[in-house]
Amino acid sequence: MLMETINSPSDLKKLRPEELRTLAAELRTEIIRTVSANGGHLASNLGVIELTIALHYVFNSPEDKIVWDVGHQAYVHKLLTGRREAFHTIRREGGLSGFPKREESVHDAFNTGHSSTSISASLGIIEGRDRNGEQFKVVAVIGDGALTGGLALEGLNHAGHLKKDLIVILNDNEMSISPNVGALSAYMNRILTGEFYRRFKKETKSFLEGIPKLGAPMAKMAQKFEDTVKGLVLPGILFEELGFDYVGPIDGHNVDLLIDTMKRIRPSSSPTLVHVITKKGKGYEFSEKDPCVFHGVGPFELETGSQIGGKGAVSYSAAFGRILSELAEEDRRIIAVSAAMKEGTGLECFAERFPDRFYDVGIAEPHAVTFSAGLATRGLRPVVAIYSTFLQRGYDEIIHDVCLQKLPVIFAVDRAGIVGEDGPTHNGLFDISYLRHIPELVVMAPKDAAEMKKMFGFAVQHGGPVAIRYPRGKVPESTLVCEEVSLGRSETLREGEDIALIAVGSCVLPALTAAERLEKAGVHASVINARFVKPLDAEMIRSVASRVPRIITVEENVLQGGFGSAVIEYLSDSEIGGVKVKRLGIGDKFIEQGKPESLRARYGIDGEGIFLAALSFVREHTFSA
């Protein structure tokens, strides 16, 4: 196997052109095999095999820096930069990250996971390089989806101003996770279909032929000129106007052409954008057919492409999609907004049922929030569904554009809590903290699907901004009767006088499990479903504190500024003493990748962890009393 001879990019440079094609085939097989076992971003990686080979063939990593946007497509890069033997551990606990990580390799120039950062980061690296008097090249590899993000456009704008030798490789497969949307995408599509070229040709020809005498020979000359410029200068006029030399579009699966192009542009001293056309999912029949499903996929059967363990209970995202569709049937004000995550957030069914009430705004979370604020000023009820980790991008917009104006925007905060294999860039562990302190905003978390439905029903009727957070994964089996939701009121699920477990959302059922085990150990626990992180159920806290000597709060969020902090703040501000409070949640650190169940156990927020913490809390404070 050629692949086994490549331990660093310098080994790659020893291969002959025909060997590079063999290597590409081997890499494809390796990636398909590994992702079928571990899950991961298959389609995006299969699309950049030849491109990655060419980049490492021409540039000299780690001296030259390659910055991968989003970073989900860096598997080939990992395989070529000394991580082949560890590749089978990708996305596993203790294994290789599914994204570039500076801590993992000197070849990873910048950590990524969130979209649209590569151009800004690369520009910063270039400016830092020049200030230090260093000499190397910097290449940002960005997809057409990631280019729809405002941050990428801000970077392009600045790059055109700085006029440094930034190289941007635009990997255009016409797909974000689902087909890419927006005017930029349409523009690039026109480049690909040759509309620019055809229009240019027609207009120039008729203009020239209209000139008496000289016209005809000039038109002939122009024909020759056209052949030279075809596909080179004119199609990328937008990028040219932004200060980039545009090269392309070129076939992103032709290694020779890619290498040749990279060699030509490498010496350039001004911003250059190479438009590379790739096929997402290339080389595996199932991912070519359905690149959206194989964008980020769980383990699957190699022969059939069908996902292993994909069936069964409904996910929270799917439950949300159904709930919103039902509510929208009754209430014409409801509009759904997604930032390039229609499938991930469960909004496919809504989009099908109400195509004219669904917006995919591209990978543009801040815009999604402000756009929704605008809709809300017109009496509509926008529901903007964004993963907790990506909503971080919209923080100021939530404050300035939504809450300051008390606008009734509903935030469906998906993937709130531990997300798992995608690691620290994707965990949704901050939203309680970054939402809780915003005036006017109501923050809720359901324990199961029935409660989720009631909460969204409540949110639509509530006249101001509301955020509802729920985790990744399946909705739990729950036979609990769901009370009506009323503003700032919690739900007491179980009474006990030794300790009170006050839990938020996904931690409520584990708290109940813990309480049952505590009962067997002779400890009587109350279990309270907080329901509202904000406004806090002050009456409940006051009443619990007067009856029970110990409180444990449980949340799948960082402890700093979280729900437990809110409880302590309330007790302190109200000068309520005599009750001991312990907070369970995630400490002050970014937590590693791994299986969500295993991470919940490690951080003590599963049933077992809550049980053990409660037991020792009771014992500690009984003996020391």
> Where along the sequence are the contacts to ligand TPP (CB under 6 A)?
44, 47, 70, 72-73, 114-115, 143-146, 171, 173, 175-177, 280, 295, 340-341, 363, 365, 390, 393
Cβ 144 to ligand TPP, closest distance in Å? 5
* Residue 280 known to be catalytic: yes
- Choose between 81 and 115: whose C-beta lies nearer to ligand TPP: 115
Surface-to-core class of residue 136, CB atoms within 10 Å of its CB (0-12 exposed, 13-18 middle, 19+ buried):
middle
CB closer to ligand TPP out of 72 and 367: 72
Omega of the bond leading into 535 within 30 degrees of 0 (cis): yes
Question: Toward ligand TPP, which CB reaches closer, 48 or 540?
Answer: 48
Q: CA-CA distance, 2 to 27, in Å (whole number)? A: 10
Which residue is at the shortest CB distance from ligand TPP? 143
Cα–chain center distance at 482: 32
Q: Which residues, including other chains, have CB under 8 Å from residue 532's CB and lie 6 or more apart?
A: 442, 443, 444, 487, 488, 489, 490
Contact 236, 262 (CB under 8 A): no
The whole-angstrom separation of Cα 599 and Cα 609 is: 11
Instruction: Tell the smallest beta-carbon distance from residue 417 to ligand TPP (Å).
Output: 17
| Cis peptide upstream of residue 62 (ω within 30 degrees of 0) | yes
51/257 Cα distance (integer angstroms): 10
Q: Other C-beta atoms within 10 Å of 387: how many?
A: 23
Which long-range contacts (C-beta less than 8 Å, at least 24 apart) are formed by 8-12?
A: 8/80, 8/81, 8/82, 9/56, 9/57, 9/60, 9/61, 9/80, 9/81, 9/107, 12/53, 12/56, 12/57, 12/80
Least distance from ligand TPP to the Cβ atom of residue 214, Å: 46
Which residues on neighbouring strands pair with residue 67, listed in sequence order?
Answer: 140
Q: Give min distance, CB of 35 to ligand TPP, in A.
A: 14
Q: Which is nearer to ligand TPP, 122 or 173 (CB)?
A: 173
Least distance between ligand TPP and beta carbon 124 (Å) = 18
Q: Which residue has the tokens 């075809």?
A: 230
* Cα(139)–Cα(122) distance, integer angstroms: 7
Q: Among residues 280, 453, 472, 550, which one is catalytic?
A: 280
Strand 532-534 versus strand 442-444 pairing type: antiparallel
Of the residues 365, 491, 555, 556, only one is catalytic, namely 365
We find the least distance from the C-beta atom of residue 344 to ligand TPP, in angstroms, to be: 7
CB atoms within 10 A of CB 580: 16
CB of 392 to ligand TPP, least distance (A): 8
**The two structure tokens encoding residue 623:** 């003996």
Candidate list 393, 447, 469, 531, residue with the active-site label? 393
Total H helices, total E strands in the chain: 25, 17
CB of 367 to ligand TPP, least distance (A): 11
- Identity of the residue, 52 or 526, whose beta carbon is nearer to ligand TPP in the bound complex: 52
Q: Would you say 314 and 75 are in contact if contact means Cβ atoms under 8 Å apart?
A: no
Nearer to ligand TPP, 336 or 541 (CB): 336
The minimum distance between CB 557 and ligand TPP, in angstroms, equals 20
Q: Which is nearer to ligand TPP, 276 or 610 (CB)?
A: 276
Residue among 360 and 555 whose Cβ is closer to ligand TPP: 360
Contacts of residue 238, Cβ cutoff 8 Å, sequence gap at least 6: 187
Is 365 designated active site? yes
Other C-beta atoms within 10 Å of 149: how many?
A: 28
Neighbours of 329 (CB within 10 A): 11
Does the active-site annotation cover 127? no
C-alpha span between 504 and 445 (Å, rounded): 6
Q: In whole angstroms, what is the distance from residue 25 CA to residue 6 CA? A: 14
Q: Return the number of the residue (393 or 600) whose C-beta is nearest ligand TPP.
A: 393
Please identify every residue annotated as catalytic: 280, 365, 393
